[in-house]
C-alpha cells in the first residue's frame, strides 16, 4: 500500500528505481507485469505508465511483445560509459556553476551532508544512492534538455557499477572515499563561486578518481588498459 501522501504509482517508481540502482534487480532482469501488478495491487494501465517512465529515464528497456527488463550493462554499454562519462560530467558541472540558484546550492550541501553520513555508516547501498543524489542535483543545476537524459543514464550505471565493485573495505578504499568527499566539497565551492572553469576541472578530477577506483577492482594486476580513453583507429 502507498505511504501517506504518496500515490501507489509514485511508490512503485521509487521502489523500482532503488531496486535497479542497488542491483536488487540485476541488469537484464525481466520485469513481470503480472507479478508487479499483484504485488502492488495496481492495474496494468498505471503499471505500464510506470514502466514507460522508467524507460524514458534509462532504468528499463521495453521490448515489443516481450515486456520490460532492467537496462543491460554489457561490454558495449560499459565501454560507452567510460568514453562518455568525463565529457558529460565536465559539461554538467560547467553549466551547474553558471546556472545554480541559491536554493539548489543549499540542496547540494544537504546532499553532501547525507553522503558524508554514509561514509561513517559503511552502508554501501546508502553510499551509492547518496552519491547519486549529489550528482543528480548538479544535473538539475545544469538545466540542459540535451545533456540531462545522458547524464541520468550515466548516474544509473555509475551507481550499479559501485554496487558491483566497491565492496572491499581496505585502507585504499577509505582513502579514496575521503578524497571523493573532499572533491564534493570543492565542487560545491566552485559552483557557489560561479567558477565554471574550476567546476569543469573538478569534474575531470572526480571522474579520474572514480575510474581509478573501478580499475582497482576490475583490472588484473599488471594489465595496463586505461579506462575512459578511446583507442586510436
**Count of CB atoms situated within 10 Å of the CB of 204:** 15
**CATH code of the domain made up of 8-70:** 1.10.10.10
The model's pTM:
0.81
C-alpha distances out from residue 17 to 2, 3, 126, 218, Å: 16, 17, 13, 25
| pLDDT attached to residue 153 | 93
| pLDDT attached to residue 47 | 93
| pLDDT attached to residue 6 | 63
**Per-domain residue ranges of the chain:** 8-70, 75-218
Q: What share of the chain is helix, strand, coil (3-state, %, to 5)?
A: 70, 5, 25
The CATH superfamily assigned to 75-218 is GntR ligand-binding domain-like (1.20.120.530)
Q: Give mean pLDDT in consecutive 10-residue pieces for the chain, a chain of 233 residues.
A: 64 94 92 92 91 94 88 87 93 98 98 93 85 96 96 93 67 81 97 98 92 63 47 48
| pLDDT attached to residue 4 | 44
| pLDDT attached to residue 215 | 67
φ, ψ of residue 91 to 5 degrees: the values are: -65, -40
Amino acid at each position: 500500500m502507498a505511504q501517506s501522501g504518496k500515490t501507489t504509482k509514485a511508490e512503485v517508481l521509487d521502489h523500482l528505481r532503488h531496486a535497479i540502482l542497488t542491483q536488487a534487480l540485476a541488469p537484464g532482469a525481466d520485469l513481470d507485469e503480472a507479478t508487479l501488478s499483484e504485488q502492488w495491487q495496481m492495474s496494468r494501465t498505471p503499471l505500464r505508465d510506470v514502466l514507460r517512465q522508467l524507460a524514458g529515464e534509462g532504468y528499463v528497456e521495453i521490448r515489443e511483445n516481450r515486456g520490460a527488463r532492467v537496462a543491460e550493462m554489457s561490454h558495449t554499454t560499459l565501454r560507452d560509459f567510460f568514453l562518455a562519462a568525463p565529457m558529460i560530467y565536465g559539461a554538467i558541472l560547467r553549466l551547474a556553476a553558471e546556472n545554480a540558484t541559491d536554493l539548489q546550492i543549499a540542496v547540494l550541501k544537504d546532499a553532501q551532508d547525507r553522503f558524508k553520513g554514509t561514509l561513517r555508516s559503511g552502508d554501501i547501498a546508502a553510499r551509492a544512492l547518496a552519491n547519486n543524489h549529489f550528482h543528480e542535483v548538479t544535473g538539475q543545476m545544469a538545466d540542459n534538455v540535451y545533456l540531462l537524459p545522458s547524464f541520468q543514464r550515466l548516474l544509473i550505471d555509475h551507481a550499479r557499477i559501485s554496487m558491483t565493485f566497491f565492496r572491499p573495505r581496505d585502507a585504499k578504499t577509505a582513502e579514496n572515499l575521503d578524497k571523493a568527499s573532499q572533491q564534493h566539497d570543492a565542487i560545491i565551492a566552485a559552483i557557489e563561486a560561479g567558477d565554471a572553469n574550476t567546476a569543469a576541472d573538478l569534474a575531470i578530477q572526480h571522474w579520474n578518481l572514480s575510474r581509478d577506483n573501478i580499475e582497482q577492482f576490475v583490472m588484473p594486476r599488471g594489465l595496463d588498459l586505461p579506462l575512459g580513453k578511446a583507442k586510436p583507429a
